[in-house]
Structure 1
Amino acid sequence: MKILVIHTRYLEKGGEDSLVDLEIDLLRQEHEVELLEFQNESGWRGLIQFLISIWNPGAGHKVRKKILDFRPDLVHIHNWHFAAGPVVFHAAAKEGVPIVATLHNYRILCPSASLFHNETLFYESLTNGFPWKAVRKKTYRNSILLSFWLSLILYFHRIIGTWNLVHSYLVPSASMLPFFEKVSWKFPMHKVTVKPNFTEPASTSPKEKTNFLYVGRFSAEKGISSLLDAFITAKQPLLIVGDGPLKSLITDASSKYDWIRYAGSLNKQMVYDELSAASALIVPSIWQEPFGMVIIESFAHGTPVIAANIGAPAHLIQHKFNGLLFEPGNATSLAEAIQQWNKLSITEKNQMSANALRTYKEHYTPQKNLQELTRIYQSCM
């Protein structure tokens, strides 16, 4: 099968960019794959890209030319915002090629893309025609003008039927489905399939599991405040890995409390080493996280996860089977979950560890993902 992947790279490479690269490498094991990528720019170049993204004729021309040259059986679109723009859907449809699109976030529902703003959940865009509240609250880059323009782009393409050109939408977790079902403009739910992400098997040997571990971005939606409050109270060993705007909270806590250690940013292999050595991974997110790569990476290393009962983690984790769930944003609830974990016997912890690895092998291996992707592609053709 010949597959054309279209993706717009972010200014700074993030998880979505890495996932696209992983998926392309996976698909090339059995299919002929080419990538057409666009690159978001900063400064005035980025502003021009953003302004013309409502209908970017240059991007449309590139897509049509690539399709005519490569003659793909199918086009798989990932991020279109903002260097390419939604015109890529029209360009592919004009050439009569089936379109698959992965929804890595909530962008086409709300300019926030996260349903989270100012440290709280934000659902107002789901039940209104034009997302004026999102504009007034400056949900995109804290700017009324930029929020308005992105809202207009989304609304315009909703009105002209752009989102109906897709043959199959993929979402990484069933936790996303209710929000697409809620929108007042009737998203084509019959085209949506849950196709989770995947990760490679553990590349490190099992280690003695000691401290708790947090790996991720230091930002409000990740629940950093409740994480620190819980461990300051629990006085349990916690290793923190990552970076982000709330880094000062991490460094302050690690300097005051000797059971909280900050390791900085680590490369992928070093993160895997820490996952292998952790007693449990902590995921305290307070937003509707679409997935959670670090969760399935933890499972791959046989490490259970203690996570907030919200978003994708609530679907990835079976309470008391491969981890524990606690109330999101509630430091007391997290502290109680830590205490509950510590009260488990060695046998119970080992069983939960085995269940975590079993969960990975049954659902999140590269082989499972390739089979599912191929099945979805064939159904579109």
Structure 2
Amino acid sequence: MSLPTVVICVDHAYVSGGQSKVAIESAVGLKAAGARVIFFAACGPVDERLAAAGVEVVCLGQHDILGNPSRLAAARQGVWNARAAAVLEKTLDQLSYDRTIVHVHGWAKALSPSIAKPIRAANLPAVYTMHEYFLHCPNGGFYDFRKGAVCPLKPMSAACWLTNCDSRNYPFKLWRNVRMFVAQRVAHLAETFSDIVLLSDLQEKALAACLPTGAAIHRVTNPVEAEPLGRKADPRSGDFLFVGRLSAEKGAFLFAEAARRAGATPVFVGDGPIAAELQARFPQARLMGWKSPQQARQAMRAARALVFPSLWYETFGLTALEAKAMGTPAIVADGCAAREAVEDRVTGLWFKSGDADSLASAIRELKNDAAIAEMSGRAYDAYWAAPATLERHVAGTLAVYEEMLARRAAA
């Protein structure tokens, strides 16, 4: 049987974060496997790998919400991107009803809830990969940025409307609630998807009360870029390393404070809104700025341990898995999805989420050369026993598609 036609929908046609990165790599992998792939995005430029792989691209050349010079136009587009809906409708109208899948990886930064309308009109099976939580939570994280803690409120409840949980300001939070109202009551976005791909057990727990009734739930691992370099020659060398966006919810301040208490130097690869404050409050910290993906992996390979101190749920914890592939143990918060990449006290350590003393204790424990050497070898062996390759990701994705098409044929 021939492979299906796949329409991948995502906000950006270039790597703007993990969401678009996975969408692009998945498109390239699916095309290589023999599927016809159409990549539908609002914002360019288009990643060169898509054209090189023969992926068909429909890019609208729009701004995303935060990059739009007109705040009024951005607000309007974010709630209902009429052009995205019209062009997606035209794109879907040209495709086979029997062997086409629509796969949405992201909509909240540019495409808007409007994409649900043409997908539903085409009556095509649609699947959503939960790279974040915007399908159910107005700010996309089940997180109160003001309190610096996971939010216990029911999304879109009266308490949710009255709570300023946004990282920017309360008017922006209210705009996001309006967008969520449109997504739920006008577009019926969540109900558009017969299938949902989750990335972690924690996601399923966090979304227990939110997932669409009757939706089929799948688990497909995101692909990890890594080479089997062999066990580290000297795992006892290197620093305690943070890789990612420098923001409060990612736990950057927590790591710096814990490292200070443990007498270690915190090293940060990445940048973000708190970089200047982080350096001012913790002058001993070394901020390396953004690095290319290859340079970031090299830094992880050279590190003594990766620290993943995120305060919110996360969805997957890709960095922790990348470090594992490099043979670098990880110290992870026990309240985030990255803990699933680490077997506690075997390939790394868990610490109590948000607790600087608990994290400091874990850092002190991994100052022990014998402990770090043993965990490094175990981490490397565990990852490469079942590596999260692009081929594995594509196989899992195609299995989801075939199940969706089989249900349609049976119906």
Alignment of 1:98 onto 2:125: yes
Structure 1 counterpart of 2:271, from 243, 265, 274: 243
Structure 1 distance, partners of 2:214, 2:352, is 29
Which residue of structure 1 lines up, in the alignment, with residue 85 of structure 2? 60
Structure 1 distance, partners of 2:257, 2:169, is 32
Alignment of 1:136 onto 2:173: no
Q: Secondary structure at the match of 1:297?
A: helix
Residue correspondence of structure 1 range 319-330 to structure 2 within 5 A? 319-330=344-355
8 Å CA contact retained: 2:318, 2:338:
no
Give, as a single letter, the amino acid of the residue that structure 2 aligns with 1:375: A
Alignment of 1:83 onto 2:110: yes
Distance 1:266 1:98, change over 3 A: same
Which residue of structure 2 lines up, in the alignment, with residue 282 of structure 1? 307
- Displacement of 1:272 in angstroms is 1.2
Residue correspondence of structure 1 range 175-254 to structure 2 within 5 A? 175-183=202-210, 187-188=212-213, 190-202=215-227, 206=232, 208-209=234-235, 210=237, 211-252=239-280
Which residue of structure 2 lines up, in the alignment, with residue 354 of structure 1? 377
Alignment of 1:115 onto 2:118: no
Residues 3-30 of structure 1, C-alpha deviations (whole Å, 9 max, x = no match):
1111112999223222222222222221
Alignment of 1:153 onto 2:179: yes
Distance 1:52 1:233, change over 3 A: closer
Residues 329-357 of structure 1, C-alpha deviations (whole Å, 9 max, x = no match):
21111111122223362xx5444223323
8 Å CA contact retained: 2:9, 2:40:
yes
Give, as a single letter, the amino acid of the residue that structure 2 aligns with 1:226: L
Distance 1:148 1:32, change over 3 A: same
- Displacement of 1:249 in angstroms is 4.0
Structure 2 distance, partners of 1:314, 1:110, is 22
Structure 1 counterpart of 2:395, from 355, 365, 371: 371
Q: Secondary structure at the match of 1:76?
A: strand
8 Å CA contact retained: 2:193, 2:215:
no
Superposed CA RMSD in Å reads 2.6
Query: Unmatched 5+ residue regions in structure 1?
Result: none
- Displacement of 1:243 in angstroms is 1.0
Q: Secondary structure at the match of 1:108?
A: coil
8 Å CA contact retained: 1:254, 1:262:
no
Distance 1:236 1:124, change over 3 A: closer
Q: Which moved more, 1:229-238 or 1:107-116?
A: 229-238
Structure 2 distance, partners of 1:269, 1:203, is 14
- Displacement of 1:363 in angstroms is 5.1
Distance 1:82 1:313, change over 3 A: closer
TM-score, length of structure 1 as denominator length: 0.88
Q: Secondary structure at the match of 1:182?
A: coil
Residues 45-100 of structure 1, C-alpha deviations (whole Å, 9 max, x = no match):
45324325444443222111111335461111111125322221221121121101
Alignment of 1:261 onto 2:289: no
Structure 2 distance, partners of 1:299, 1:232, is 25
Alignment of 1:18 onto 2:21: yes
Structure 2 distance, partners of 1:275, 1:338, is 16
Q: Which moved more, 1:195-204 or 1:220-229?
A: 195-204
8 Å CA contact retained: 1:7, 1:79:
yes
8 Å CA contact retained: 2:332, 2:351:
yes
Structure 1 distance, partners of 2:69, 2:280, is 37
Structure 1 counterpart of 2:195, from 149, 168, 185: 168
> Number of paired residues?
372
8 Å CA contact retained: 1:310, 1:328:
yes
Structure 2 distance, partners of 1:277, 1:147, is 41
Structure 1 distance, partners of 2:78, 2:382, is 41
Structure 2 distance, partners of 1:212, 1:300, is 17
Identity of aligned residues (%): 22
Distance 1:143 1:102, change over 3 A: same
Give, as a single letter, the amino acid of the residue that structure 2 aligns with 1:48: A
Q: Secondary structure at the match of 1:26?
A: helix
Distance 1:342 1:192, change over 3 A: same
Residues 167-205 of structure 1, C-alpha deviations (whole Å, 9 max, x = no match):
21112211111221134xx63364222222121222767
TM-score, length of structure 2 as denominator length: 0.82
Q: Secondary structure at the match of 2:261?
A: helix
Q: Secondary structure at the match of 1:202?
A: coil
Which residue of structure 2 lines up, in the alignment, with residue 300 of structure 1? 325
Which residue of structure 2 lines up, in the alignment, with residue 5 of structure 1? 8
Structure 1 distance, partners of 2:281, 2:306, is 19
8 Å CA contact retained: 2:139, 2:176:
no
Distance 1:326 1:64, change over 3 A: same
Structure 1 distance, partners of 2:266, 2:350, is 18
- Displacement of 1:262 in angstroms is 2.8
- Displacement of 1:378 in angstroms is 0.7
Q: Which moved more, 1:325-334 or 1:199-208?
A: 199-208
Give, as a single letter, the amino acid of the residue that structure 2 aligns with 1:364: A
Give, as a single letter, the amino acid of the residue that structure 1 aligns with 2:267: L
Structure 2 distance, partners of 1:141, 1:237, is 28
Structure 2 distance, partners of 1:224, 1:271, is 17
Q: Which moved more, 1:107-116 or 1:78-87?
A: 78-87
Q: Which moved more, 1:7-16 or 1:150-159?
A: 7-16
